[in-house]
Structure 1
Amino acid sequence: MGVRRRRTAGVAVVALGLLAGGLLLPAAPAGAHGALENPLSRAAACGADSPLSKKSPACTAAMAVSNTELPDEWDNLRVADVAGRDREVIPDGKLCSGGIEGFGGLDLARADWPATRLTAGAGFTFKYRGTIPHKGTFRLYVTTDRYDPSRALKWSDLERQPFLKVTDPAMADGSYVMKGRLPASKSGRHLIYTIWQNSDTPDTYYSCSDVVFRAAKAAAAPSEPAPTDSAAAEPAPTDSTADEAAANDPATDDPGSDEPGSDEPTTDESAVADPASEPVAAAPAAALAGSSGSGGLPWAVGGVALLAAVAGAIIVLARAKGRRPR
């Protein structure tokens, strides 16, 4: 019986050793990876799995910037230890890249970035692709009426307060889903700036989504203020399903237009796929779940299995110690 107890103790020691060794291995990629996919962000549009990465002149220009991390690292635009000091840490002109050199191409001041058509004041379902799930708070800002897409984005180009703030939204089909209401007073080309501050990692993520607002329908219901935190209250969309479907209609301004910020931009087919055959916002989402080389899920699964093995070994050891030799 003594031999059996020694063997059992040995198993427990080995298991604990594996656990300790695992804790000393190089850490898995920290934080959650992702980017706003609806309305489509620049990073997602230029990602390796996006049908626009090779069709959009803006994406082509972004990927031509030296030392670029696009298109493969589209979901890894994160800055550590910002802790809510976004305006202090991220410099003007580099908001879309988060000040990271490898994403500098996303800061290019152009009026032909792939854009999503939205209806001002309409209810809208925002979707943020999360290739590694994590906890945190999303804050969405819109540009002021003075916004000029031909100039590098600065903090003063954004409204001071977010029009939507969501903490720990639910995830569906690999994306965080957040229902809210679009700003009611906007028209023409604008930009929605998303800040995702993780609460279980030190990372903060940044996304720039180019959009084109069109006026709300005359018969539409009066707009309601967006909630300050959807964890406490979730707004009920008042617009029809057709309105939201129309809001997903991708468009870009004609690069040759004399008015790049006009209310009714023409579609540049070389930059944006035909929505009837390749939905711009949906196409990246369908293929991004296993991309970017983040590898976070296998680490999580392996960790759970290892902990289970250690727990089983300890239980066996405890039972063995409780038996007396005959």
Structure 2
Amino acid sequence: MPARRSVAAFVAVCLAPLAATALTASPASAHGTMGDPVSRVFQCYAENPESPASAACRAAVAAGGTQALYDWNGIRIGDAAGQHRTLIPDGKLCSANSEEFKGLDLARADWPATSVSSGAHTFKYRVTAQHKGTFNVYITKAGYDPTQPLAWADLDMDHPVATVTDPVAADGFYTFSGTLPARSGRQLLYAIWQRSDSPEAFYSCSDVTFGGADGAAGGGSSATASASAPSAAPSASAPSEEQIAAGADRSTVEHHGHGDADARTSADPSAAGAVAESAGPSAPSTVADAADAAGADEPAADGSAENLAETGSDANTPYLAVGGAAALALGAAVLFTSVRRRAVSGGRHSR
């Protein structure tokens, strides 16, 4: 029994710092999309990925499948480093040149749209992991034709309608102000979130309508776009928190399948204690068990109003740390087995 306690204590003491390193040193990935005016992917997710209501969202699913909608907060380029126009070709802006999200690039005039008007506008960006960086929101030029593939030349890149650096999130959103210029009819807002603590950047397309009854709601309202909109597009609305939570288990972004070399979507030092606690007499017996223990999934949204976290570790750091913890767990298990056998053997000889 003393030998068993010694091994358990050894495992707990050694695993705790390694688990903490894996969780706190990982370059946690930032995820999100525009919530108001709602982005195409967020709108289609709100409609139900398995059976979207609008013709445009049904076409997006037919082109790219349903998984893209469950991964609504993952339209990204991991090594963008500000080179957006170099990395994303014309016609692929809404998908950020990602095959998974190609359905969002469909050029059509019936994407659900948010009604806006010229002047001050409050933007809300739905975030699921907070990090330092800069948001820039651009609007299409007068004369924009939604039936043609969106090109960089269609955007007024010299005059962003909103720019903000290092905002603070509250209730799952970054909220910031901007000014919409004079426009009429259907337009598009293109948002780029470039992290400053990583080369990663996120992108989103939001369809909006100006003019007449369409602009009456204005001022950041995502209420309804009038049926008399130039394209007769359906109104847009973001998904509810219940809808977001309901689809979290289907998201590859939230379950480490987004390919950005991050072991977790956010750092959670508090989880280290749970890993150490679990390393008693029943220490993880396999590498997979140890990795699972060190990488519990985070909640769907981070709604705190704390300052944004900075991360800058090498992308391989979390894997090395988790691998080290797993190897140590295996070694401890072998040691425990060896000690136990010697104890049993000694007991037999004593008899």
TM-score band by shorter chain is 0.5 to 0.7
CA contact 2:110–2:232 (8 Å) conserved in 1: no
* Residue of structure 2 equivalent to 1:265: 230
Mean Cα displacement is larger for which, 50-59 or 137-146? 50-59
The 1-side partners of 2:167 and 2:242 are apart by 20
The structure-2 alpha-carbon separation of the partners of 1:42 and 1:284, relative to structure 1 and needing over 3 Å to count, comes to: farther
* Residue of structure 2 equivalent to 1:196: 193
CA contact 1:37–1:285 (8 Å) conserved in 2: no
The 1-side partners of 2:231 and 2:87 are apart by 37
Residue 57 of structure 1 and its aligned partner are, at CA, apart by 0.6
* Residue of structure 2 equivalent to 1:287: 243
The structure-2 alpha-carbon separation of the partners of 1:20 and 1:140, relative to structure 1 and needing over 3 Å to count, comes to: same
CA contact 2:82–2:199 (8 Å) conserved in 1: no
The 1-side partners of 2:87 and 2:97 are apart by 8
The 2-side partners of 1:138 and 1:290 are apart by 28
Residue 147 of structure 1 and its aligned partner are, at CA, apart by 1.1
* Residue of structure 1 equivalent to 2:202: 205
Unmatched runs of 5 consecutive residues or more in structure 2: 257-263, 277-351
Matched, 1:251 2:248: no
Q: Partner amino acid for 2:83?
A: R
Matched, 1:303 2:269: yes
Unmatched runs of 5 consecutive residues or more in structure 1: 217-240, 255-263, 273-279, 311-326
The structure-2 alpha-carbon separation of the partners of 1:160 and 1:243, relative to structure 1 and needing over 3 Å to count, comes to: closer
CA contact 2:133–2:197 (8 Å) conserved in 1: yes
The aligned runs of 1:1-326 (5 Å cut-off) are: 11=9, 14-20=12-18, 30-47=28-45, 49-50=46-47, 54-66=52-64, 69-121=67-119, 123-161=120-158, 162-183=160-181, 185-214=182-211, 244=219, 247-251=221-225, 264-265=229-230, 267-268=232-233, 271-272=234-235, 280-284=236-240, 287-288=243-244, 291-292=247-248, 293=251, 294=254, 303-306=269-272
The structure-2 alpha-carbon separation of the partners of 1:91 and 1:68, relative to structure 1 and needing over 3 Å to count, comes to: farther
The structure-2 alpha-carbon separation of the partners of 1:64 and 1:215, relative to structure 1 and needing over 3 Å to count, comes to: same
Q: Partner amino acid for 1:288?
A: I
> Alignment partner of 2:57: what SS?
helix
> Alignment partner of 2:163: what SS?
strand
> Alignment partner of 1:212: what SS?
strand
Q: Partner amino acid for 1:304?
A: S
CA contact 1:129–1:285 (8 Å) conserved in 2: no
Q: Partner amino acid for 2:127?
A: G
Q: Partner amino acid for 1:251?
A: A
CA contact 1:131–1:290 (8 Å) conserved in 2: no
The 1-side partners of 2:192 and 2:112 are apart by 20
> Alignment partner of 2:103: what SS?
helix
Mean Cα displacement is larger for which, 280-289 or 102-111? 280-289
> Alignment partner of 2:29: what SS?
coil
The structure-2 alpha-carbon separation of the partners of 1:54 and 1:9, relative to structure 1 and needing over 3 Å to count, comes to: closer
> Alignment partner of 2:69: what SS?
coil
Residue 67 of structure 1 and its aligned partner are, at CA, apart by 5.3
Q: Flag the structure with more relative contact order, 1 or 2, with Cα contacts below 8 A and sequence separation at least 6.
A: 2
Residue 251 of structure 1 and its aligned partner are, at CA, apart by 2.3
Say how many residue pairs are matched: 261
Residue 11 of structure 1 and its aligned partner are, at CA, apart by 4.1
The structure-2 alpha-carbon separation of the partners of 1:79 and 1:309, relative to structure 1 and needing over 3 Å to count, comes to: closer
CA contact 1:118–1:211 (8 Å) conserved in 2: yes
CA contact 2:109–2:231 (8 Å) conserved in 1: no
TM-score (norm 2): 0.63
Residue 135 of structure 1 and its aligned partner are, at CA, apart by 2.1
Residue 46 of structure 1 and its aligned partner are, at CA, apart by 1.1
Residue 128 of structure 1 and its aligned partner are, at CA, apart by 0.8
Residue 40 of structure 1 and its aligned partner are, at CA, apart by 1.0
Residue 267 of structure 1 and its aligned partner are, at CA, apart by 4.9
The 2-side partners of 1:100 and 1:309 are apart by 36
CA contact 1:189–1:212 (8 Å) conserved in 2: yes
* RMSD between aligned residues: 3.8
CA contact 2:116–2:217 (8 Å) conserved in 1: no
Residue 12 of structure 1 and its aligned partner are, at CA, apart by 6.8
The structure-2 alpha-carbon separation of the partners of 1:32 and 1:252, relative to structure 1 and needing over 3 Å to count, comes to: farther
TM-score (norm 1): 0.68
